[in-house]
Amino acid sequence: MLAENELVSLFLGLGVLLFFLANLGRVREIKGYSLMMGGYLAYLSSMIFTILEGFAWEPGFNFLEHLGYLVSAVFLAAWIRQLAGPQRGAS
């Protein structure tokens, strides 16, 4: 079953991807952009998997959807850690 809100979210996510690609030169200037983009692409893949699970192989795509969310969160945490830089006073 296809939920309209999932489809709208996917279209918005694809729009953000197009924005990133159109401004790739500026995006590459962001510190740790590869971690940021990796996290975003993992999140976008989760949105794609949630659509696909409504049509075929529901257990497998559901697993891949949630795995994508996990990978996205790990990338985001690593990116934030890199943005924060080394902590001062840490022993």
Q: Is residue 3 pLDDT above 80, yes or no? A: yes
Residues listed for the chain: 91
Three-class DSSP labels, the chain? CCCHHHHHHHHHHHHHHHHHHHCHHHHCCCCCHHHHHHHHHHHHHHHHHHHHCCCCCHHHHHHHHHHHHHHHHHHHHHHHHHHHCCCCCCC
Tens-digit pLDDT profile for residues 24-77: 999 999 999 999 999 999 999 999 999 999 999 999 999 999 999 999 999 999
pTM score of the predicted model: 0.89
Phi first, then psi: give them for residue 71, nearest 5 degrees: -60, -40
Q: How far is residue 47's CA from residue 90's CA, in Å, rounded to a whole number?
A: 39
Q: How far apart are CA 40 and CA 17, in angstroms?
A: 9
